Amino acid sequence: MNSRILDDKYQRVRRLFSRMILISLLGLPLPAFAALGASVDSVREDQVRLQARITVDARGLYTVHELISAFGTVVREYVSPKGKVFAVSWQGPFMPDIKQLLGSYFDQYLSAARQQRERQGSRSPLSIQTPSLVMQNFGHLRAYSGRAYDPALLPTGVSADDLR
């Protein structure tokens, strides 16, 4: 009889523990970055996830959403009047998650970066220029910077020099 009581208690504790895990997992924030080509709605999700301060600067032809993380990394997300992120840039002591920032462009980045590294080695700054992705990535420990954009998404009148 004692073993049956212990078995019942074990099953109740196990069910309770399983429910607690499920509830805690549902409360976790999902990783979401405003990726190149994504909508402006994802910028606010980034602010929450990074616990960053955000400033918005309307520049006529586009808007810059600047996120400053607690660790000092600055991510700028350039948004067209159509509400699309057409460029991203970063600067700071820590490298942002490039996969998150590039979104659907990440595989294209990997392929182009691999080709450049095979030609030039791993010590040179990364500079990719394809018809649908332009990216420069510079830096060393505690001093990283770069930018990425899709030339086809640049609003009329905006040039690459405007993306700083």
**DSSP string of 40-81, one letter each residue:** THHHHHHHHHHT-EEEEEE-SS-EEEEEE-TTS-EEEEEE-T
List, edge to edge, every strand of the sheet that includes 74-79: 53-58, 63-68, 74-79, 85-92, 143-149, 134-140, 126-129
User: pLDDT by residue for the chain (164 residues), tens digit each?
Assistant: 566 665 666 555 444 334 433 333 333 333 335 689 999 988 877 787 777 899 999 998 999 999 998 889 999 999 999 999 999 999 999 888 899 889 999 999 999 999 998 988 777 789 999 999 999 998 888 899 999 999 999 999 999 999 97
Q: What angle do CA 27, 42, 142 make, to 5 degrees?
A: 90
CA of residue 46 relative to chain centroid, distance: 8
